[in-house]
């Protein structure tokens, strides 16, 4: 693989799997360096990671092992990929809110390359609204996730929350760095999905219906094709907030693909999104400017069995297949 992987280890019983993960990544040819939180060191001694990685282990922000560089900046710049595994609720919350109070979080905030988080915690913690909000924020910020698996947890519960197996994580990393062409590599894709509302008065709103299936499938396929994906799929959110976020991303990523798959209100009170200066694909919403492609359907796309794309009828019953056809069509148009 011949890539630099920075593994950030936070404190949970799954830390023992992180030792095996270092071993698997090293066997696959990666050069691995490890940062540990104080809580992680309560479960596993840093020496275990040092032996497996054959590199120094970092855990103190103020312990500069090389006086010619600032350690957390140097590590962030060194990594081709940063993995946070296990990613506890604590470190997820800190990162989502921009808190940098130890070696792991300061390094993560200094990172400009891809960062993947592999959550691991009790099933009820994983389902807690605060954790879900933090995960949604990180997803909007462009972080990628290796979803936890389901099974018997250390706390005695059975459910979703197990750190994915080291072999599976290693395979995902290898696929990411494979020589197989990824047509959206180095591209940013911003996807809106879900239902949004416009305030009517102090007590009422006008909202739409959506289950996000098409937008989420398009975002997932874009990630598989190598894109940096930003998915805006917040529940019970004002369309004004959505459009403000999109305007910010337009400035931040002027060459991005903007896939507007969110169902937004069309009343007189509702604002209208401007797609001028954007490479935008819309789903029949009223917009200002000319989208690259407009996809139409008899019902909202999430609930429709078919969609019309440039005069052709597509099957929309299977969201994954629709997303694959969508990106094949869009990328063919880009090449022409």
Q: DSSP state, 36?
A: E
Contacts of 245 (CB under 8 A, 6+ apart): 140, 232
Query: Residue 5 forms beta bridges with which residues?
Result: 32, 81
Which member of 100, 110, 155, 172 is catalytic?
155
Considering only CA atoms, which of 294, 292, 290 is closest in space to residue 312?
A: 294
In order of 162, 189, 217, 326, the CA distances from 317 in angstroms are 32, 23, 12, 13
For residues 39 and 61, what is the distance between their CA atoms, to the nearest angstrom?
A: 15
Residue with tokens 């598989």: 224
Peptide bond into 86 cis (omega under 30): yes
Tell me, yes or no, if 8 is annotated catalytic. Answer: no
For residues 131 and 304, what is the distance between their CA atoms, to the nearest angstrom?
A: 32
Q: Where are the beta strands (DSSP E) in 205-331?
A: 205-207, 228-232, 237-238, 257-263, 273-274, 279-282, 287-288, 293-296, 306-309, 312-315
Task: Kindly list the catalytic residues.
Answer: 155
């Amino acid at each position: 693989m011949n890539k630099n992987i920075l593994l950030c280890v936070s404190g949970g019983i799954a830390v023992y799997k992180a030792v095996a993960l270092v071993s698997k990544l090293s066997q696959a040819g990666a050069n691995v360096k490890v940062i540990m939180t104080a809580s992680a060191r309560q479960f596993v001694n840093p020496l275990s990671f040092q032996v497996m990685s054959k590199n120094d282990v970092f855990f103190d922000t103020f312990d500069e092992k090389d006086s010619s560089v600032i350690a957390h900046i140097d590590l962030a710049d060194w990594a081709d990929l940063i993995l946070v595994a296990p990613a506890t609720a604590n470190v997820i919350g800190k990162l989502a809110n921009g808190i940098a109070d130890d070696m792991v979080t300061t390094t993560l905030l200094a990172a400009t390359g891809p960062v993947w988080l592999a959550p691991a915690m009790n099933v009820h913690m994983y389902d807690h609204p605060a954790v879900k909000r933090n995960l949604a924020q990180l997803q909007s910020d462009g972080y990628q996730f290796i979803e936890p698996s389901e099974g018997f947890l250390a706390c005695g519960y059975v459910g979703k929350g197990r750190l994915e197996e080291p072999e599976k994580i290693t395979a995902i990393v290898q696929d990411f760095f494979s020589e197989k062409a990824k047509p959206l590599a180095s591209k940013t894709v911003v996807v809106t999905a879900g239902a949004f509302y416009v305030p009517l008065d102090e007590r009422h709103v006008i909202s739409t219906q959506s289950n996000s299936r098409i937008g989420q499938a398009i975002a997932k396929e874009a990630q598989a094709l190598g894109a940096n994906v930003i998915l805006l799929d917040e529940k019970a959110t004002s369309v004004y907030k959505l459009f403000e976020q999109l305007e910010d991303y337009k400035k931040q990523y002027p060459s991005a693909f903007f896939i507007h798959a969110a169902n937004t209100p069309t009343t007189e009170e509702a604002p209208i999104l401007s797609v001028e200066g954007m490479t935008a694909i819309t789903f029949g919403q009223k917009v200002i400017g000319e989208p690259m492609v407009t996809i139409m359907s008899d019902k909202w796309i999430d609930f429709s069995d078919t969609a019309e794309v440039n005069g052709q009828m597509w099957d929309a019953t299977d969201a994954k297949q629709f997303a694959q056809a969508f990106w094949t069509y869009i990328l063919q148009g880009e090449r022409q």
